[in-house]
Chains A and B, each alone.
Chain A
Amino acid sequence: MAWINQNRNALISAVIVVIVLALMFNGMSPQTASSVILSGITLAALYFLVASGVSLIFGLMDVLNFAHGSLFMIGAYAGWTYYTNPRLLFNTGSLLLALVAGFALSPLLARFIVLPRWARWLAFLIAFVIAIFSVRDFPIDKLVAMGMTMTGKVIPTAEAQEPMTTMLMRLAGAFLAGAVASAGIATRSAERRAAPMQQTIALVIGMIVAAVIILLAREPGEQFILQTDSNWRFLMAMVAGALTGGAIGALMEWGLIRPLYSRPIYQILLTLGLTFVFDQVVRFVWGPAGAFMEIPKWFNTPSKDCPSDNLWVWFAQNCDSVFIGGRPFPSYRLFIILVGILMLIVIALLLQRTRFGMIIRAGVQDSEMVEALGINVRRVFTLVFAIGAALAGLGGVVAAPFLGVYPGMAMEFLLQAFIVVVIGGLGSIPGAVAGALLVGLARAYGDNIVLAGIQLPWMKDAISGSPAIARASTVLIMAIVLFLKPTGIFGKKD
């Protein structure tokens, strides 16, 4: 009885959802219904990967990350680049790492110099000029030219890459720019909170060594990646996307959001600005047009017996589609569902079964109290931000063979993630699951009826529309939930 009382909202909404689903699929053939449901769950898995991060980050630190869709997009681009054009990652990644190494100097510099206000701006200006000089004439368009299957212009790696000496000089320039800028942000309070000096030095040196190793390994590394078979390469691309997302998320929290915890409004102004910056970066580097990503061999092996009769046969054949409920369904989408479920289990285990998860759950309740108990909440914040961002990045790579990569995916998934968390309630993982399922199913159902056309009894012809209508209609669910229960189905915070 107590259990029913506690979960009343969830139960009522579950009953409503079941009734609505029954009405929706009433009159639909079982084949169509099963394929709509599976498509819906596929989308739901992707939405969950984005929305769970948004929800977790907001629940713990009250920061609504408007750049989360961009992290999804960055993850997708990073994974896709790893898969098709790793030389771009080797050449740019080392520069970025050197820049970050320069920034990481700031707690160390704060021990020796604290600049007056005007000198800070001067430092930023000098850093900016050094940065401009160190990337001047960097042949990014040549480096990109291999992955762009659309433009089809391939430049061999040897021509596209700059000689090692030039790259090493650029590396030094990037490090210097970061170091000068970090002198600009060094403050006394940063010094007081800083880690021990040896730790900072070790971190900086480690990053520089890593940057140089990446640069030195660029040619054998590229050969190695391009020669691994497509399945393993894809798995590694997933890791690359998640790592890129996680690293960018951690940097964002550490460098940009942390200084603004005293001004919460400015945090979201900042993250909104970041969506714009990421969008521009992606358009600048990869161009405004999107690209498709190859589906790995496991899900794309041609054979005369395709589509496979059932899942067991598929394991032997690796066809691109499987008969489920009497209709062929793309097997890659089953993989997306699998990844979504796996990540849900991982998050649930992390939150419920580990000490770290316990700290997170306690922090969602009352982060000041957790801090009072002697736990370094700031570090937990950075880690959770990184985890949320890594989930989004992973989602991006998984989505890439299904939807392709294009700059618009950031806004698209941000929108759906917001709708999901508004429905489910911010800060609640069960809410994110429920919301994602609801939105995914509604979206798939909407796509289906929009394509088939709607014919109400008094109409002569069916009205059909473009998929854009289905995309837009999910906001209706959000409006209804807002109207009935503004905090969302599982939400408690207002």
Chain B
Amino acid sequence: MTKSIRDHLPYLLLLAALVVLPFAISFLTGEPLNKGIALFSQGLMIQVFILAVFALSYDILMGHTGILSFGHALFFGTGAYALGILVKYAHWSLPVAILAIIVIAALESFVIGILSLRVHGVYFAMVTLAFATVAFILVEATDFKQWTGAEDGLHGIPVPDAINPAIHRTEFYFLALAFAVAIFLLVKLFVDSPSGRVWAAIRENEARATSIGFNTLAFKVQATIISGIIAALAGALNAMWNLSATPQTMEVGTTINALLMTIIGGSGTIIGPMLGAGVLQLLGYFLNLWLGSIWQLVFGLIYILLVLFVPYGIVGTWRVKQLDWRAAWRARFARVSK
């Protein structure tokens, strides 16, 4: 029991800090929750939570199953547009729309998974990129303007007042936080389940996993579907937050964002990509203040340096180093006690 509390302590502290954060900022600045910096910082954190879930869904494929997809923005965008179209034009209620999104995302990722997983490795990355780019082209096409709004995007999605971020920002903050925590626990459950073990086996050595007798294609499709659904849910929440769905959600840039968050945080570590989302978003905000529009270029360069020199990310590097440090401490302690 004590061990498990000690293991989970950092997570619980982080969660407590995030729960207290809006009130703490409001207290420090002396402004009410719905004004000034307190309001703004909540908005920033809401984006962090949404992107954290998106990065986590990406890491199910990249970090846990070892599949490299370059078309993940497709699912994010699907969630956003499906929510917008269903709520605004079909006048569905929000919960029903979200259930529908789960079904749509599951079907979509099933079809794309079945088609693309016939090829391996870089081929898969290339094929998924092609599918996502086509979706982006279609969303921007003028043919479906009445539904998607073409290049301008779909604006004015009606969200119930109770969770409308424009009116009840703090409520939306806790909704997004609860969503992120729930998905975190869910993914942890998946990764620790027997299926999750097979994913890890596929990541480490697919041929061997096949020879033990697992139908690796089925497990890879399963991972794709779970990851697709979570990404679509993140996209839906993003649409609720912005009250709009724009073509940018389908762009390659969105996939690169997910990749970046995963690599900064450390792939295959569950919490890593979520922290990566936080780092990326906050860093992006301050770089934008400091450098103006050129910050994205700087960002791209940082990404390249990270890929070259820090491949395991924050959490991954920390875990590796932690073992070294512990070993060093033990060695020193042993010497002293002798």
* Structural contact, A486 and B294, CB atoms closer than 8 A: no
| Residues on B with beta carbons closer than 8 Å to the beta carbon of A472 | 134, 137-138, 141
* Structural contact, A277 and B301, CB atoms closer than 8 A: yes
Determine the distance from Cα of A472 to Cα of B74 in the docked complex, in whole angstroms: 14
Asked if A374 CB lies within 8 Å of chain B CBs, one says no
Asked if B259 CB lies within 8 Å of chain A CBs, one says yes
Asked if B133 CB lies within 8 Å of chain A CBs, one says yes
* Structural contact, B142 and A272, CB atoms closer than 8 A: no
Asked if A266 CB lies within 8 Å of chain B CBs, one says yes
What is the distance, in angstroms, from A124's C-beta to the closest C-beta of chain B?
7
Determine the distance from Cα of A411 to Cα of B252 in the docked complex, in whole angstroms: 9
* Structural contact, B294 and A482, CB atoms closer than 8 A: no
* Structural contact, B118 and A482, CB atoms closer than 8 A: yes
Question: Which of A277, A471, A482 contacts B116, CB < 8 Å?
Answer: A482
Determine the distance from Cα of A270 to Cα of B306 in the docked complex, in whole angstroms: 9
Asked if B30 CB lies within 8 Å of chain A CBs, one says no
* Structural contact, B307 and A273, CB atoms closer than 8 A: yes
Asked if A315 CB lies within 8 Å of chain B CBs, one says no
Determine the distance from Cα of A36 to Cα of B119 in the docked complex, in whole angstroms: 33
User: CB-nearest residue of chain A relative to B133?
Assistant: A415
Question: Which of B122, B137, B297 contacts A280, CB < 8 Å?
Answer: B297
Question: Which of B130, B141, B296 contacts A418, CB < 8 Å?
Answer: B130
Determine the distance from Cα of A355 to Cα of B13 in the docked complex, in whole angstroms: 65
Determine the distance from Cα of A385 to Cα of B304 in the docked complex, in whole angstroms: 19
Question: Which of A165-173, A192-200, A461-469 is the interface stretch?
Answer: A461-469
Asked if A10 CB lies within 8 Å of chain B CBs, one says no
* Structural contact, B252 and A275, CB atoms closer than 8 A: yes
| Residues on B with beta carbons closer than 8 Å to the beta carbon of A483 | 115, 118
Q: Which of A58, A270, A280: most chain B Cβ within 10 A?
A: A280
User: CB-nearest residue of chain B relative to A475?
Assistant: B134
User: CB-nearest residue of chain A relative to B68?
Assistant: A265
Asked if B225 CB lies within 8 Å of chain A CBs, one says no
| Residues on A with beta carbons closer than 8 Å to the beta carbon of B168 | none
CB-contacts of A424-476 with B (<8 A)? 426, 465-466, 468-469, 471-472, 475
Q: Which of A62, A419, A475, A487: most chain B Cβ within 10 A?
A: A475
* Structural contact, B129 and A418, CB atoms closer than 8 A: yes
Asked if A269 CB lies within 8 Å of chain B CBs, one says yes
| Binary CB contact string for chain B from 110 to 141 against chain A (1 if under 8 A, 0 otherwise) | 00000110111111011101110110011011
Q: Given contacts A270-B304, A422-B126, are A468 and B137 in contact (CB under 8 A)?
A: yes
Determine the distance from Cα of A259 to Cα of B125 in the docked complex, in whole angstroms: 21
Asked if A256 CB lies within 8 Å of chain B CBs, one says yes
Q: Given contacts A479-B115, A482-B118, are A277 and B141 in contact (CB under 8 A)?
A: no
Asked if B217 CB lies within 8 Å of chain A CBs, one says no
What is the distance, in angstroms, from B142's C-beta to the closest C-beta of chain A?
5
CB-contacts of B64-117 with A (<8 A)? 68, 70, 115-116
| Residues on A with beta carbons closer than 8 Å to the beta carbon of B127 | 418, 422, 478, 482
- Chain A contact-residue range equals 35 or more
Q: Which of B68, B70, B121, B307: most chain A Cβ within 10 A?
A: B307
* Structural contact, B297 and A281, CB atoms closer than 8 A: yes
Determine the distance from Cα of A276 to Cα of B118 in the docked complex, in whole angstroms: 28
Determine the distance from Cα of A263 to Cα of B308 in the docked complex, in whole angstroms: 10
* Structural contact, B123 and A426, CB atoms closer than 8 A: yes
* Structural contact, A269 and B259, CB atoms closer than 8 A: yes
What is the distance, in angstroms, from A310's C-beta to the closest C-beta of chain B?
38
Asked if B311 CB lies within 8 Å of chain A CBs, one says yes
Question: Which of B123, B126, B304 contacts A277, CB < 8 Å?
Answer: B304
Q: Given contacts A265-B68, A273-B307, A466-B143, are A280 and B115 in contact (CB under 8 A)?
A: no
* Structural contact, A422 and B252, CB atoms closer than 8 A: no
Asked if B300 CB lies within 8 Å of chain A CBs, one says yes
What is the distance, in angstroms, from A476's C-beta to the closest C-beta of chain B?
9
* Structural contact, A468 and B297, CB atoms closer than 8 A: no
Q: Given contacts A268-B125, A276-B253, are A466 and B142 in contact (CB under 8 A)?
A: yes
Asked if B61 CB lies within 8 Å of chain A CBs, one says no
* Structural contact, A469 and B141, CB atoms closer than 8 A: yes
* Structural contact, B142 and A468, CB atoms closer than 8 A: yes
* Structural contact, B123 and A422, CB atoms closer than 8 A: yes
* Structural contact, A266 and B311, CB atoms closer than 8 A: yes
* Structural contact, A284 and B294, CB atoms closer than 8 A: yes
Determine the distance from Cα of A66 to Cα of B255 in the docked complex, in whole angstroms: 13
Asked if A16 CB lies within 8 Å of chain B CBs, one says no
Asked if B303 CB lies within 8 Å of chain A CBs, one says yes
Determine the distance from Cα of A157 to Cα of B138 in the docked complex, in whole angstroms: 43
* Structural contact, A269 and B307, CB atoms closer than 8 A: yes
Question: Which of A266, A275, A280, A284 contacts B307, CB < 8 Å?
Answer: A266
| Residues on B with beta carbons closer than 8 Å to the beta carbon of A273 | 256, 300, 303-304, 307
Determine the distance from Cα of A266 to Cα of B311 in the docked complex, in whole angstroms: 8
Q: Given contacts A277-B304, A280-B300, A479-B115, are A268 and B68 in contact (CB under 8 A)?
A: yes
CB-contacts of B140-167 with A (<8 A)? 140-143
Asked if A291 CB lies within 8 Å of chain B CBs, one says no
Determine the distance from Cα of A50 to Cα of B28 in the docked complex, in whole angstroms: 57
What is the distance, in angstroms, from B319's C-beta to the closest C-beta of chain A?
18
Asked if B305 CB lies within 8 Å of chain A CBs, one says yes
User: CB-nearest residue of chain B relative to A465?
Assistant: B143
Asked if B270 CB lies within 8 Å of chain A CBs, one says no
Q: Which of B126, B263, B311: most chain A Cβ within 10 A?
A: B126
Q: Given contacts A259-B308, A277-B301, A494-B120, are A468 and B140 in contact (CB under 8 A)?
A: yes
Question: Which of A62, A272, A274, A281 contacts B259, CB < 8 Å?
Answer: A272
Determine the distance from Cα of A184 to Cα of B141 in the docked complex, in whole angstroms: 47
**Chain A to chain B contacts (Cβ below 8 Å), 19 pairs:** A66-B126, A265-B68, A266-B311, A269-B259, A272-B70, A272-B252, A280-B294, A415-B130, A418-B127, A418-B130, A421-B126, A465-B143, A468-B137, A468-B142, A471-B137, A472-B134, A478-B130, A482-B119, A486-B119
Closest 5 CB pairs of A and B: A468-B141, A277-B300, A280-B297, A64-B122, A486-B118
Given contacts A264-B122, A266-B311, A415-B134, 4 further A-B contacts (CB under 8 A): A64-B126, A268-B122, A273-B300, A482-B119
Residues in A lying within 8 Å of B, measured CB to CB: 58, 62, 64, 66, 124, 256, 259-260, 263-266, 268-270, 272-277, 280-281, 284, 411, 414-415, 418-419, 421-422, 426, 465-466, 468-469, 471-472, 475, 478-479, 482-483, 486-487, 494
